Amino acid sequence: MAVVDHFLNGSISDATTDKNRFADVFNPCTGDIAKQVRLATASDVDSAVAAAKAAQPDWAALNPQRRARVMYRFKALIEEEMDSLAALLSSEHGKTVADARGDVQRGLDVVEFCCGVPQLLKGESTQGAGPGIDVFSIRAPLGVTVGITPFNFPAMIPLWMLAPAIATGNAFILKPSERTPSVPLRLAQLLSEAGLPDGILQVLNGDRTTVEALIDHADVKAVSFVGSSDIAQAVYARGAALGKRVQAMGGAKNHGIVMPDADMDQAVQDILGAAYGSAGERCMALPVVVPVGERTADELRDRLVAEIPKLRVGVSSDPEADFGPVITAAHRSRIESYIDLAVSEGAELVVDGRGLALQGHDNGFFLGPTLLDQVRPDMKSYQDEIFGPVLQIVRADSLEEAISLATCHQYGNGVSIFTRDGGAARQFTDSVEVGMVGVNVPIPVPVSYHSFGGWKRSAFGDHNQYGMDGIRFYTRTKVVTQRWPTAGRSSGGSFVIPTMS
């Protein structure tokens, strides 16, 4: 059986201390074990960090323009391999090839942003801040940094992390999800081909043992994480307790508010794509829709019921498929248990996606689109992140009630409003307590030169992903105050706090 190995010191490597640590990698469309991935030990972490630490100073000393040239070449190589990367990604994740191509592209956008790192690293300066005194600031890299990424975006999220980390002069160790390990490995090879020195990017596949060893390592200066909220909070607490810089992105329960004046044709199509695309396995999916007013709710429900049967669930290579399977049989069972729970809590099961099987792919991890109505805020199925193709309708009587639902939820990743009313949109964007807001945009993921990040239990730490926040996260500021002596103008020492008088 094929084995996915690590990427260490510029090449693929099986050099691990325990040759018997593996995890299975499934083909979600068939349910078969497609390959295995080798898992790193704490000793392997020590070796990778040591190599990264040794290589990082020379890379940091390289001028930013030369580091940018590596990013330019990396960008070109990704563009050349877009189709093969998308096919490889979809074979392990199960998302459609078109969706996988978008996964790669959104990560590529951040690589492109980081091609401008010479401009992004420019500090500030003041000449003549005091008598003969100049002040300037420098953005310096941290050293060895770490990224821990989830299964659902095997290209996008690793690129969100590694591109700004490496462009700013750090070494970076990536621990990708063991469920979707092949694309991160290929990206590492492409970055090496682009001219990245050996040791600056390492890819260590692993599990909890690997993650804890990376967080605890004394030479790791920063940790970036994306995953569930409980684990994000634990990663943040563990890293922060050790004095490390940590950004930890967690779960979500994004709401889409539909006003009575919304363009209902467009809103329904947007909601369908945002709720069921990628089988709902996105932290920016739209699993809750909040129609304002009973007439709006009834119309929205009727339209959704009419459109959902038209959705095509298929294998990842099917160009006509709207979405594919979920990642594992265990995850499908978890999603189904939440559907059961919602019904037991009193929700109305309007469309049931359970029990779906595709001919010739009977063992695939498929689940059809599910729609639940009459969902209440006190239901656990509403409070928790389901992370599957399940859409819940929570009815509201007013815009204020709809805003309160999104604001009071434990998660605060994304939220959207569908309306033609500029005043309602302004009230919504000003008052809702959520990190990323869309107006007639169902998945408001910011472009690469802004930053991605939620509020509340959707994010822990003070810096968001990519954009200028990404540059700030992977650098620290050094401020220099300098005065050059002038012959014959020396003065005596001062014993009071210096001022610029």
Sorted by where each begins, the domain ranges of the chain are: 3-250+458-480, 255-439
232 pLDDT above the threshold of 80? yes
- SS3 percent helix, strand, coil of the chain, rounded to 5, is 40, 25, 40
Q: Is the pLDDT of residue 410 over 90?
A: yes
Question: What are the C-alpha distances in Å from 474 to residues 48, 86, 499?
Answer: 19, 28, 32
The mean pLDDT of 420-428, rounded to a whole number, is 97
Buried b (16+ CB within 10 A) or exposed e, 343-355: eebebebbbebee
Tokens representing 424 are 């309602």
pLDDT value for 492: 66
Q: Is 271 helix (H, G, I), strand (E, B) or coil?
A: helix
Q: Dump pLDDT digits (tens) for 310-329.
A: 999 999 999 999 999 999 99
Return the H-helix or E-strand segment holding 159: helix 156-167
Is 3.30.70.890 the CATH classification of the domain at 3-250+458-480? Answer: no
Mean pLDDT of the 266-279 span: 98
> Which one is catalytic: 29, 114, 115, 283?
283
pTM, entire model? 0.95
Determine the average pLDDT of the residues in 71-89. 98
Amino acid (one-letter) located at 88: L
283 annotated active-site: yes
More confident residue, 13 or 380: 380
Rounded mean pLDDT of the chain?
A: 96
Residue with tokens 């690469």: 448
Residue 109 has pLDDT above 80, yes or no: yes
Structure confidence at residue 489 (pLDDT): 65
Q: Which of 353, 357, 383, 387 is nearest to 371 (CA)?
A: 353
pLDDT tens digit string along 437-446? Answer: 999 999 999 9
Distance CA 385, CA 48 (A): 34
Given a contact cutoff of 8 angstroms between Cβ atoms, the answer to whether 372 and 319 are in contact is no
What is the DSSP code (8-state) at residue 114? H
pLDDT of the residue at 500: 64
E-only strand ranges, 96-199: 125-130, 133-141, 144-148, 171-175
**Mean pLDDT of all residues in 170-190:** 98
Which residues on adjacent β-strands are paired with residue 37?
Answer: 4, 23
The whole-angstrom separation of Cα 48 and Cα 316 is: 34
pLDDT in tens, 148-161: 999 999 999 999 99
pLDDT band at 3 (very low <50, low <70, confident <90, very high): very high
Cβ(342)–Cβ(353) below 8 Å = no
CA dihedral 11, 17, 19, 24 (to 10 degrees): -70
- Is pLDDT of 266 > 90? yes
Dist. CA 367–CA 357, nearest whole Å? 8
Across the beta sheet with 22-27, the strand order is 3-4, 32-38, 22-27
CATH class entry, domain 255-439 = alpha beta
Q: Show the tokens assigned to 124.
A: 């500030």
H or E segment to which residue 6 belongs: strand 6-8
